[in-house]
Amino acid sequence: MRIVPFLCSTAITIALVTLLDNSLGKIPPLGSFLSPQYGFWQNAEPINQDYGGKLLLTGIKGPVEVYFDERLVPHVFATNEEDLYFVQGYLHARFRLFQIDLQTRAAAGRASELAGSKAINFDREQRRLGMVFAAENALKEIEANATFRSFFDAYTAGVNSYIEQLTEAALPIEYKLLQNKPEKWSNLKTALLLKMMSKMLSAGTETDLANTNAKSIFMPNELQQLYPQVPDSLLPIVPIGTEFPKPAVIPIKPVNADSVYFNNKTTVAAQSLDRPDPGNGSNNWVVAGTKTKSGYPILANDPHLELSLPSIWFEIQLKTPTHNSYGVSLPGSPFVVIGFNDSIAWGVTNSQRDVKDYYEIKFKDQSRSAYWFNNQWTPTKMRIEEIKVKDSLSVFDTVAYTVFGPVQFDNSFSNAAAADRNLAVRWAAHDPSNEGLTFFKLNKAHNYADYEEAIRTFTCPGQNFIFASRTGDIAIWQQGRFPARWEGQGLYVMPGEDSSYLWQGYIPQQENPHAINPARGYLQSANQRAADGTYPYFIPGSYITARGVRIDNKLAAMSGITPKDMMELHADYYNISAEDLRPVLLANIQEEQLQGKELAYLSIFRDWDLMASPDSKGQTVFQCFWDTVQASIWRDEIERTNPMAPWPIEQTTIEWLLRDTLHTYADNRNTPAVETLAMIVTSSFKKAALVLAAKEAEGKLVWSRYMNPSVYHLLKDALPAFARKGLAVGGYGNIVNAIKHSHGPSWRMIVHLIDGIEAYGVFPGGQSGNPGSRYYDNNIAAWEKGEYNRCWYMRENDRTSEQVKWVLEFNKL
Amino acid sequence: MKFFLSVLLTMLAGIGISLWSLSPWWGFVPVASLVAIALHQVPSKAFAAGFLGMLLAWGGLSWWIDWQNASLLSKQVAVLFPLQGSSAALILLTGILGGLLGGIAALAGCYLRSTKSNVE
């Protein structure tokens, strides 16, 4: 033996293996990651992969057959419901494991386990918002119903059945990159997933903290002008003229509300770190047989959410001998969430209602162990939160719970330095509820009565459930458990020292805004206020008016409607806000002050066809110009407090301009001169022209280049290669085809309720969450072009059809 | 002959070792040493045989996987790395990494059996 060379080469071998077995910063362990047998190569699925097979599993009662079609949509045929949801859980895990694991960990405030210390504040806010508290409350309600619990149990067993057989090589690629392992599923995780949706759709629809700052600088009449409740141009969900019954609940305004609440001028420094996009909206509409060519109703829905890869939706058909539903499911939860069966179709949009309020808490001392409530010191419940951090020590946080809810902001947690205020959050999502039950019942519903019974218990996030049946009924309900508020309740931080400012009750379910078989033959919702000013309850929210007006105008004018007409409406790029605004803006531009490029942009704007199409330059000029106008009008006003008061919503500004009554706000407070609207509009155009010229130099004057529509991977900028960027689509938040940079129609569905059901659907992604699969992004091209896949609604005798590409059989071990 | 046999055995070990479910990703490393012990050669040849064997194993396997996958994944991973999205570069990197480990492990095996006298 040659000792020295032997020892040297052995040492180098060991050192090299060790080096390659460990991650270096963001770089995964190169040895295992590049190993063709263990690493990412194992995630490169053969493009002719066979998804069929035979599985023998415990936890399943009888045989279940899964028929995959050419788009990898599973059509699950089970003999009973437990087996059905077991297999749905298995399939969600098989194709979306990293997604469901990441989303539920993030929902529970455990993102730091994967992302490290940069996610600590996100995690603390999740815990302080009471996300786990909310999921636990929901789970108690869910598990109180033994039958329903068995579905959750079966779903959980299905997910775990897949996880348990996973080898290192078969782990999703994200785990290999992040050096982590999937966690076992539980019913609590399913509840957390649903709370993630609650947060997405009902935690960003209020601006109470910013409103409180607005109240410190604006007079009550100004607040009404800047933040009105009912827009002039509103076309509500419930047709105008509908009579509402006398309210059964009449909340009483506290006697001291004027002095300690409305006239309280104290500002609040706290701000949410992770505020959900208030544009998490959606469209849905339904036309009755009287307006369609076939004589049967057509239902359409397109939920607008953050667009991600993998998609938030997973297409699936769920069949037992007693029901047969098809649509999209949320990976991490059983049931079809938006879809149809052989009798009905349903869809949802967000209600945009404010169901989250803040209360100011007075603690006895620094320990936060007691707070002043109804004239005595009341003990808080303390919840100690351990946040585990990747590559670091755990961080501990203590959250005090009051009668209102958890104290989200206090001196140990706030983004702002001046954290001397203790704010407890009262959020409808904290209340015990079982939203899954609604979807379970909808999956099996036969008619209007079943639908109404199914949605009745749905609590949070409030949704506009639209409905159509084979028998010709159409309907919509804005459903949720909404607080019955006195006028102005919950717009601002409320006093939390006694019970007088608590929610006094809820709007009775039967009084929720709804409409059934209207004479006009259509119903629509697009995140607008559900009812006009005659609705007898105070219902603040973050409403969007423009899309609903456009959809209503189009549907009113249509007749002999076919599914193709509905596809065209989904793809509609017409900018109805610009239709209103262009004449006002053009009338106020002092053209003699413009020169060169500015004049060129002005003529683009003037000649624009009002379409926000991908190749439009007019839309780019308009949006850039209009954003500058809004900033010029409002910034000087709302920046008088820090943090800022909320921006008045676009619709408010449009209506002020149309009424020509904006003059006092047009003036810039920060300059000695008195600016007129014409001066503001002209200087805004000049400012916008500079931005536009810079964009034009980069070749980005065309709308789709300017907006850069993109679908990101769930880990965003950490994995840019897994994103699909620069899609050739137009649209905007105020446009029916509501595509923004990385946000928009996450599932477009059209269901024609003829015999046999004719349904179409598409989402910008694919069934598989694996970037190494051809089914990762295979639907993006169709979505981009506004095309649809025909949903194959399989029946019992289709088992041997040529449309079946693979069969996966489950049997009891 | 010895050289080609070494290359072949190392390559087969590099491919086959993962069939043993308890093997870690570096399971081929001790096997490459064993091959060099069993089929003794001069250090340079031992290294070359280990390198070539594993280059073929890892390079070949990744090439085969990539071909079946129509380079869908490798194109994306080669952006993360960053290798300008080149699948070929990623396959080459994989092969060279395997080769280096195979080579150095073979060298260790070779020195274990070497004596001054049997060095040419």
pLDDT digits (tens, 9 = 90+) for A364-398: 998 999 999 999 999 999 999 999 999 899 999 99
Q: Hey, which residues 75-94 in chain B have their CB within 8 Å of chain A? A: 76-77, 79-80, 85, 93-94
The answer to whether the CB atoms of B108 and A37 lie below 8 A apart is no
Predicted pLDDT at A416: 55
The answer to whether the CB atoms of A46 and B25 lie below 8 A apart is no
Q: Are A769 and A95 in contact (CB under 8 A)?
A: yes
Q: A514 pairs with which residues across the strands? A: A477
The answer to whether the CB atoms of B108 and A17 lie below 8 A apart is no
> Which residues of chain A make contact with B115, given a CB cutoff of 8 A?
1-2
> Which residues of chain B make contact with A32, given a CB cutoff of 8 A?
25
Task: Say which residues have a Cβ less than 8 Å from residue A716's Cβ, sequence separation at least 6.
Answer: none
Confidence of residue B120 (pLDDT cuts 50, 70, 90): very low
Q: A91 — phi, psi (to 5°)?
A: -70, -40
Predicted pLDDT at A31: 93
Task: Say which residues have a Cβ less than 8 Å from residue B96's Cβ, sequence separation at least 6.
Answer: B55, B59
The answer to whether the CB atoms of B68 and A21 lie below 8 A apart is no
Beta strands A806-812 and A64-68 are: antiparallel
Other CB atoms within a 10 A radius of the CB of residue A286 amount to 29
Mean pLDDT of the A182-194 span: 97
User: DSSP code of A369?
Assistant: -
Which of A9, A31, A721 lies closest to B104 in CB terms?
Answer: A9
Q: Which residues of A touch B (CB under 8 A)?
A: 1-2, 5-6, 9-10, 12-13, 16-17, 20-21, 30-32, 34-48, 167, 169, 173, 177, 719-722, 771-774, 776
Candidates B15, B65, B93, partner chain A, best to mutate (most A CBs within 10 A): B65
The structure tokens listed for A426 are: 């009262």
Å between B50 CA and nearest CA of chain A = 12
Å between A9 CA and nearest CA of chain B = 5
> Which residues of chain A make contact with B56, given a CB cutoff of 8 A?
none
> Which residues of chain B make contact with A47, given a CB cutoff of 8 A?
68-70, 72
**Is B67 touching A (CB cutoff 8 A)?**
no
- Residue-wise pLDDT for A669-707, tens only, equals 888 888 889 999 999 999 999 999 999 999 999 999 999
Å between B54 CA and nearest CA of chain A = 11
Torsion of CA A732, A733, A736, A741, to 10 degrees: 40
- Residue-wise pLDDT for B78-99, tens only, equals 999 889 999 999 999 999 999 9
Closest-approach residue (CA) in chain A for B80 = A721
Å between A702 CA and nearest CA of chain B = 27
Burial class (CB in 10 A: 0-12, 13-18, 19+), B16: middle
Closest-approach residue (CA) in chain B for A771 = B73
The answer to whether the CB atoms of B73 and A16 lie below 8 A apart is no
Amino acid identity, position A132: V
In-domain check, residue A614: yes
Q: Which helix (H) or strand (E) holds A463?
A: strand A463-469
**pLDDT at residue A561 above 60?**
yes
Integer Cα distance of B96 and B91 in angstroms:
9
Mean pLDDT estimate for chain A: 95
- Residue-wise pLDDT for A307-324, tens only, equals 999 999 999 999 999 999
Burial class (CB in 10 A: 0-12, 13-18, 19+), A186: middle
Candidates A7, A13, A167, A178, partner chain B, best to mutate (most B CBs within 10 A): A13
> Which residues of chain A make contact with B58, given a CB cutoff of 8 A?
34-36
> Which residues of chain B make contact with A177, given a CB cutoff of 8 A?
80
Candidates B17, B21, B47, B69, partner chain A, best to mutate (most A CBs within 10 A): B69
**Is B116 touching A (CB cutoff 8 A)?**
yes
The answer to whether the CB atoms of B108 and A35 lie below 8 A apart is no
In-domain check, residue A618: yes
Assess whether the previous peptide bond of A310 is cis (omega < 30° from 0). yes
Which of A6, A36, A774 lies closest to B72 in CB terms?
Answer: A774
The answer to whether the CB atoms of A721 and B18 lie below 8 A apart is no
**Is B108 touching A (CB cutoff 8 A)?**
yes
- Residue-wise pLDDT for A109-157, tens only, equals 999 999 999 999 999 999 999 999 999 999 999 999 999 999 999 999 9
Other CB atoms within a 10 A radius of the CB of residue A88 amount to 29
Mean pLDDT of the B29-38 span: 91
Closest-approach residue (CA) in chain A for B107 = A9
Helix (H/G/I), strand (E/B), else coil: B35: helix
Q: Are A259 and A217 in contact (CB under 8 A)?
A: no
Predicted pLDDT at A56: 96
Number of compact structural domains in chain A: 1
Which of B62, B65, B114 lies closest to A1 in CB terms?
Answer: B114
Predicted pLDDT at A321: 96
Closest-approach residue (CA) in chain A for B47 = A9
Query: What radius of gyration, in Å, describes the C-alpha atoms of chain A?
Result: 28
- Lowest average pLDDT, out of A227-236, A407-416, A527-536, A715-724, goes to A407-416
CATH code assigned at A623: 1.10.1400
Mean pLDDT of the A336-347 span: 98
**Is B66 touching A (CB cutoff 8 A)?**
yes
Which of B61, B77, B100 lies closest to A40 in CB terms?
Answer: B77
Q: Are A75 and A812 in contact (CB under 8 A)?
A: no
Amino acid identity, position A585: L
**Is B118 touching A (CB cutoff 8 A)?**
no
Predicted pLDDT at A274: 81
Helix (H/G/I), strand (E/B), else coil: A389: coil
Q: A77 pairs with which residues across the strands? A: A65, A319
In-domain check, residue A290: no
The answer to whether the CB atoms of A46 and B69 lie below 8 A apart is yes
**Is B111 touching A (CB cutoff 8 A)?**
yes
> Which residues of chain A make contact with B99, given a CB cutoff of 8 A?
none
> Which residues of chain A make contact with B74, given a CB cutoff of 8 A?
41, 44
**pLDDT at residue A551 above 70?**
yes
- Residue-wise pLDDT for B93-118, tens only, equals 999 999 999 999 999 998 888 765 55
**pLDDT at residue A350 above 70?**
yes
- Lowest average pLDDT, out of A268-277, A490-499, A586-595, goes to A268-277
Q: Are A211 and A646 in contact (CB under 8 A)?
A: yes
> Which residues of chain B make contact with A5, given a CB cutoff of 8 A?
43, 107, 111, 114
Q: Are A281 and A349 in contact (CB under 8 A)?
A: yes
In-domain check, residue A670: yes
The answer to whether the CB atoms of A9 and B29 lie below 8 A apart is no
Torsion of CA A57, A62, A67, A68, to 10 degrees: -30
Q: How do the residues of chain B divide into helix, strand and coil, expressed in percent and rounded to 5? A: 75, 0, 25
In-domain check, residue A658: yes
The answer to whether the CB atoms of B111 and A35 lie below 8 A apart is no
Predicted pLDDT at A666: 84
In-domain check, residue A221: no
The structure tokens listed for A174 are: 């994200």
The answer to whether the CB atoms of A721 and B68 lie below 8 A apart is no
Full residue range of the structural domain in which residue A582 is found: 576-707
Q: pLDDT: is A410 or B55 the higher one?
A: B55
Q: Are A525 and A285 in contact (CB under 8 A)?
A: yes
**Is B44 touching A (CB cutoff 8 A)?**
no
The answer to whether the CB atoms of B29 and A13 lie below 8 A apart is yes
Integer Cα distance of A726 and A706 in angstroms:
10
Helix (H/G/I), strand (E/B), else coil: A679: helix
